[in-house]
Structure 1
């Protein structure tokens, strides 16, 4: 641009000399050099930070298509570089093994639900068993209490029988004395009857009294024998009642210490198994649901779809090839068309003057004669020279002769009615100028230079 302006100055100067407006002396001969120095100092040096410029590159993301499942590719309905919509099928993996897995897990889910019903039925049965065991314990305790009462009653009967026997034995002893006395009196009367000392009526009365006393004695002796029988039976009743009480006590102890503990443990285990819940769902059913959901997801992933609008590049995948969910192996490259990144490289010594929101003009080799308006979106304060790669080696130290790599500035292109910005191909190059708030007088020179460049793009490849 300095040369161009200098040539313009020389042309005007030559015209003025030819028209004899100014003389051709040493001053005017040296004036082009002075003109160049003035342009350099007044315009072109301030223009470096007032309107910094740099090369532009268009970037597009390349999505590495890696399926989430492994299998054999059976269909590839897309073609390379053909436009695709989001959700279009890129390729199809054989879904049969994954469909079999889904069917298997659906059957397992149905079986799990049935098992839950069986667990709940078992829990109810165990609870009923505990209830029945408690009822049996109550019956056994009642039997034990009844046996204790029977023991008390039998012992009371035994004591009563023993008292009756003692009374009967006392009566027998008393009647024995009376019978012996009546016998002696009767014998005496019998001995006196022949002599007439005793009359027959006295004999008859003595006989009747003796017979009556003997009858009473026999009755009393029978009462003693009956009392013995009653005592024997009462003792047997006491023994039987004690045995029954012991048996009832053992039954209570057995239920309390063995059966009740066991059935309660079984009931608790059955209740835990039947009521192991996550929210409103049994844990086993929830597990089966999650496994089925995972299998259904895998089945859906056998159809690999376009993540966005775009196209496939480098199509080398063929039906019959086996693919795997291996993150270091790419099976297809997909280029989205919904995002275009435009960045300009700004030299480090002027990047401090660049701020987000500043106006930018961009020209592309792809579109000669056009100037695109843009805005500074953000500054990228890192470049490949400043990146530390994870490694076991020590990074190289900065050297004196190292090159100065520009920093990237991301641009946001304004809407253009003539050119669809999203169709800019990745790798398109050009030049951009950022118009800062410094040295505004130099902006016009930069605009002229930029437009000269875009017109030169017609003839300079």
Structure 2
């Protein structure tokens, strides 16, 4: 800014002496120099006091490294550099096939366990009825009871695994955590999604008020 103001004054002096043909002597040159010194000094002093300038200023934004809950092959990237995004909007897609297969496998195991529980429950009731007529032993009933309890525990474990598998399947679509935008999109289909914190696949900038930090000299700071 200071250089621009100084060059502007020099340009005015050149126009005055060459275009308007002002005489060049010690009086005119001295007057132009003295006026320039006082004018530049006043402008710089005014700017320093009322329009302070910093050569060291930074704009800071809160960013989040975007990682995925699960690791997998990226099949599609939906975002571009600095494109406005809303909360929940898809950023990129991880291959769903392995996670869909896991969900299908666990669902089939739960159905199989339900059939087993139903069979054991019927068998237990049948042998309990036979026991009333003394045609079955306590040992057989205890064995069926134990097998039924194990089958029910197995079902609970499979249901927990299924919930985790469904969560992983849903996590194959990575979405924006808040409103904002993604800067410097280097992600491409065929790359593997990272799950390590602070080593994100994308850098997400939140739609928040930015902070400006600058360093000023002591006099302008006052």
Tell whether the structures are fold-level matches, with TM greater than 0.5.
yes
CA distance in 1, matches of 2:148, 2:179: 51
Q: Report the equivalent of 1:127.
A: 128
Structure 1 residue 329 displacement after superposition? 3.5
| Partner SS state of residue 190, structure 2 | coil
User: Contact between 1:112 and 1:288, CA under 8 Å: does it hold in 2?
Assistant: no
Structure 1 residue 129 displacement after superposition? 3.7
Which structure has the highest helix share of the two? 1
Q: Report the equivalent of 1:266.
A: 140
- Bigger Rg, structure 1 or 2: 1
Q: Report the equivalent of 2:31.
A: none
Q: Report the equivalent of 2:178.
A: 308
User: Contact between 2:65 and 2:198, CA under 8 Å: does it hold in 1?
Assistant: no
User: Under a length normalisation based on structure 2, what TM-score does the superposition of the two structures give?
Assistant: 0.65
User: Contact between 2:77 and 2:92, CA under 8 Å: does it hold in 1?
Assistant: yes
Say what the alpha-carbon RMSD is for the aligned residues.
2.9
CA distance in 1, matches of 2:198, 2:220: 46
| Partner SS state of residue 73, structure 2 | strand
CA distance in 2, matches of 1:296, 1:118: 28
Q: How does 1:275-314 map to 2 (within 5 A)?
A: 275=149, 282-314=152-184
CA distance in 2, matches of 1:59, 1:126: 75
Structure 1 residue 128 displacement after superposition? 2.8
When residues 102 and 125 of structure 1 are mapped into structure 2, their CA distance, relative to the original with a 3 A threshold, is same
Structure 1 residue 310 displacement after superposition? 1.2
| Partner SS state of residue 71, structure 1 | coil
Q: How does 1:18-33 map to 2 (within 5 A)?
A: none
Q: Which runs of 4+ in 1 moved over 4 A?
A: 55-58
Q: How does 1:84-163 map to 2 (within 5 A)?
A: 84-133=85-134
User: Contact between 1:57 and 1:429, CA under 8 Å: does it hold in 2?
Assistant: yes
User: Contact between 2:182 and 2:204, CA under 8 Å: does it hold in 1?
Assistant: yes
1:329-366 Cα deviation digits (max 9, x unpaired): 3211111123xxxxxxxxxxxxxxxxxxxxxxxxxxxx
Q: Report the equivalent of 1:71.
A: 72
Identify unmatched segments of 5+ residues in structure 1. Answer: 1-54, 137-259, 339-421, 433-445, 454-461
Question: Do residues 430 (structure 1) and 217 (structure 2) align?
Answer: no
When residues 269 and 60 of structure 1 are mapped into structure 2, their CA distance, relative to the original with a 3 A threshold, is farther
By relative contact order (CA 8 Å, sep 6+), the higher-ranking structure is 2
CA distance in 1, matches of 2:139, 2:62: 64
User: Under a length normalisation based on structure 1, what TM-score does the superposition of the two structures give?
Assistant: 0.33
CA distance in 2, matches of 1:82, 1:311: 6
Q: Report the equivalent of 1:323.
A: 193
| Partner SS state of residue 92, structure 2 | strand
Structure 1 residue 66 displacement after superposition? 1.1
Pairing partner for 1:335 from 199, 205, 210 = 205
Q: How does 1:46-57 map to 2 (within 5 A)?
A: none
Structure 1 residue 275 displacement after superposition? 4.9
CA distance in 2, matches of 1:126, 1:327: 57
CA distance in 2, matches of 1:283, 1:67: 31
1:192-234 Cα deviation digits (max 9, x unpaired): xxxxxxxxxxxxxxxxxxxxxxxxxxxxxxxxxxxxxxxxxxx
CA distance in 1, matches of 2:123, 2:70: 41
Identify unmatched segments of 5+ residues in structure 2. Answer: 1-55
User: Contact between 1:65 and 1:331, CA under 8 Å: does it hold in 2?
Assistant: yes
Structure 1 residue 431 displacement after superposition? 6.2
User: Contact between 1:86 and 1:309, CA under 8 Å: does it hold in 2?
Assistant: yes
